[in-house]
A and B are shown apart, each in its own frame.
Chain A
């Protein structure tokens, strides 16, 4: 066989095989293959394998899931142990925070290769409503949901969760009501879920008597083991019929189950007695599972209005609320916990423990949940979220791996996985997980929003903007994307686009969206160095918040007012603003610690050292008693040490705080401390890191965010990197080219630029 004379074309063969060439190049390669025996022979050997790689969906899925080992590259400063999400001064992100929490997601992407039907594992699919084929009431889904709740009470049955069923239906492009699913599809879904048994059915009559027909089918053979009819009349017809069906299914599946002596609780006892409340709740859950959490809120509220003892809507609403309201709603969920099934009870109790600051207890409850329902992915995701929030990314990864093993198409798990990878410093894998998340939920806005945040956290604001826009193309009023897109536009100094985002945000359904929008609008002049204008706006907005009783928002605006006042050279007024901020009312405990730290910094700045010491002692006492991170206290110690002239101690305390939690403010103060003592390499790396992240907390501290260029310029200049220094000063001056006059840093930067430009 003659040897190939066109090595350039021979090199393209694999790209050709994979379909990665342009039409022109493909034709060139094929013409070469037509004439070259050597290349043709080689291409024939790998033809079938290449076809699998190119066309075969299952093979492609498995290639996607290949684990690519990663070398242990030195981790960039600050990538581990961050909790920037929690630093988001959020009202700003009441909802955004929650979205982030919910979006919480390393993949050793190893989807379960062989799904083995577990013994007595049951999947309940949405019933077909023959009476109302359009099924706007989602009656069939409600019945299925109630059956899942009832059957899950049995210790001898493993019931596939409603969420997993919903996910599987969505993957098959079947509506949550399951109305368009045919028999072969439902069997395929049941097999995918590893179920031994499948419950399907139809609603055949609503009045005078509700009549539901159900079938219990053995998935492996398709044999109908039980065909049963459940009937009920009156207001409780739905629940009566559901109880009868559940009882018959349990008897059929567990004929010789030992009597526990405990009566099976009726569905109405562990959910709600109101069909309307149940319907509202199910609609809320559907939206929640698709991350449209703000839209879900009204449904949960209506469910509670219809049945004030319905526990689960309180649970979900507490996740939407902040501050005192969150605690109150969770207390109500706990109060009515007897009106929740076992599965839901674990969720309520674990959340309650977390809100009480009892992390160990919360984790213990979730672990018990996993033990009780080993095939349920939801508690695994919850555990991963907790570990992620605590900065224990390896543990989070482990839980996510297990969840993905249970369901290789668990979109939410991939979402958290992407964030977890990012925190572990593995941006490539983060993007892979994000891609998978997008592929699993291409019609939802949240996957694009998550991807945008990954880009924003990794210094790619333009890509972030693009992804946020993709999210908004799907859902134009998506709170998180609108808010962050506006913030990205401010970083890009496209202030008019930013304003239009925030104006649109005011009309979103998210709670306190108007109040959040007003805070964001004040960022625009502040970022441009127009503090007078920002302060005027804030006064006006604070008045509006007071009228609207938007207490949480008011606290944030006063905090931001203090930041602007300090930047404007008015630290005494800033102290007053912070004191008013702390007096504004209850807000998240974590926020109040942070605010005290900033107040201590301001007090030191105006010379009120004793008051600052007293406040620091109080802060220490509160942090000790609540068992939370000491980072705010360390930051306060950093300020006091600087006031005492103990610069090394100051650096120590600030850097310790910065490494603890990766809060923007802590890291900023650490960077400034490094600069003061001449630890230039540390200062440069800290400022460079902060400038690479386009986050909401960075925008909240926008005067300092802009000054990062000035600080970095100084660090470069003192390191004799004059060209870099000049660039940073110029950037700084350009952002503040129309700023208020009299800003000391701006005047100093002008002089430094002149000096550097005069140097040979």
Chain B
């Protein structure tokens, strides 16, 4: 699929094709969910952000004349929602008085312990084979950014991305099959 496909769905939806509209929002919600969950740890909050963005798009896409790319516009809407969320979290974190609704004290999201176990087991094995990938991951876990990691393992940024790409392919295979390729 491509931007053209998305723009076609958008045009069909504009013209009143409900099937196209449903397909359009299904398409967006799956991707938006992925994007937001990479930026927001709390799953409930992440879903809220996605829904808010979709509601905004649903409300406004028929009223706006989008001359360039519907995908780019929709993505921008989502990006603004995420930024708004991040800003609101910062405000909460800087508050000295506990939230009246007590929601700030909600327990951290539950994790899939089986996935966690498999992930660590795979990483342990992959790191034995691909030490630089392991080193990059441990540095990432220590909070280092790309520049610092590259400096520490003495590689260029593009090499670093390739390194991560190869490591990820091994990780994906291991998570799916339990084996190292």
Please list the residues of chain A having a beta carbon within 8 angstroms of any beta carbon in chain B.
2, 10-21, 27, 30-31, 33-37, 40, 42-56, 58-64, 66-71, 428, 431-432, 435-436, 439
In the bound complex, how far is the Cα of B148 from the Cα of A431, in angstroms? 13
In the bound complex, how far is the Cα of B135 from the Cα of A253, in angstroms? 47
Neighbour of B134 across the interface among A53, A54, A60, A68, CB < 8 A: A68
**B115 contacts A34, C-beta separation under 8 Å:** no
Interface of chain B residues 73 through 87 with chain A (CB within 8 A): 74-75, 79
In the bound complex, how far is the Cα of B30 from the Cα of A69, in angstroms? 39
**B38 contacts A66, C-beta separation under 8 Å:** no
**B115 contacts A49, C-beta separation under 8 Å:** yes
- Interface size of B by CB at 8 A reads 50
**B1 contacts A56, C-beta separation under 8 Å:** no
Neighbour of B2 across the interface among A15, A33, A35, CB < 8 A: A35
Closest A residue to B46 by beta carbon equals A51
A-B contact pairs, 28 of them (CB 8 A): A11-B161, A13-B168, A15-B160, A17-B168, A18-B164, A30-B35, A31-B75, A34-B6, A34-B75, A35-B2, A40-B31, A46-B172, A47-B38, A49-B171, A50-B38, A53-B119, A56-B41, A59-B116, A60-B141, A63-B141, A64-B141, A66-B123, A66-B124, A66-B134, A66-B138, A70-B131, A428-B152, A431-B152
**A59 contacts B140, C-beta separation under 8 Å:** no
Asked if B155 CB lies within 8 Å of chain A CBs, one says: no
In the bound complex, how far is the Cα of B141 from the Cα of A302, in angstroms? 45
Chain B contacts for A33, CB-based, 8 A: 31, 34-35
- How close is B44's CB to chain A, nearest CB, in angstroms? 14
**B123 contacts A54, C-beta separation under 8 Å:** no
Chain A contacts for B60, CB-based, 8 A: none
Q: Is the interface of B mostly helix, strand, loop or mixed?
A: helix
Chain A contacts for B30, CB-based, 8 A: 40, 44
Asked if B106 CB lies within 8 Å of chain A CBs, one says: no
Smallest CB-CB A-B distances: 7 pairs? A14-B168, A55-B41, A14-B164, A63-B141, A60-B141, A68-B134, A11-B165
Neighbour of B37 across the interface among A10, A14, A47, CB < 8 A: A47
Asked if B146 CB lies within 8 Å of chain A CBs, one says: yes
- How close is B169's CB to chain A, nearest CB, in angstroms? 9
**A46 contacts B138, C-beta separation under 8 Å:** no
**A52 contacts B111, C-beta separation under 8 Å:** yes
Neighbour of B34 across the interface among A12, A36, A44, A64, CB < 8 A: A44
- Give B144-181 as 1s and 0s: 1 = Cβ < 8 Å from A's Cβ atoms: 01100100100000001110110110011001100000
Neighbour of B171 across the interface among A37, A46, A51, A59, CB < 8 A: A46
Interface of chain B residues 101 through 142 with chain A (CB within 8 A): 111-112, 115-116, 119-120, 123-124, 127-128, 131, 134-135, 137-138, 140-142
In the bound complex, how far is the Cα of B19 from the Cα of A536, in angstroms? 94
In the bound complex, how far is the Cα of B149 from the Cα of A450, in angstroms? 21
**A18 contacts B120, C-beta separation under 8 Å:** no
- Give B58-80 as 1s and 0s: 1 = Cβ < 8 Å from A's Cβ atoms: 00000000000001101100010
In the bound complex, how far is the Cα of B30 from the Cα of A47, in angstroms? 12
In the bound complex, how far is the Cα of B1 from the Cα of A63, in angstroms? 36
Asked if B3 CB lies within 8 Å of chain A CBs, one says: yes
**B6 contacts A59, C-beta separation under 8 Å:** no
Chain B contacts for A54, CB-based, 8 A: 38, 41
- How close is A308's CB to chain B, nearest CB, in angstroms? 48
Chain B contacts for A63, CB-based, 8 A: 120, 123, 137-138, 140-141
Closest B residue to A65 by beta carbon equals B138
Chain B contacts for A34, CB-based, 8 A: 6, 31, 71, 74-75
Known: A33-B31, A56-B41. 9 other contacts (CB 8 A): A11-B161, A13-B168, A14-B168, A19-B38, A30-B35, A31-B72, A51-B38, A56-B111, A66-B120
Neighbour of B1 across the interface among A19, A30, A35, CB < 8 A: A35
- How close is A14's CB to chain B, nearest CB, in angstroms? 4
- How close is B38's CB to chain A, nearest CB, in angstroms? 6
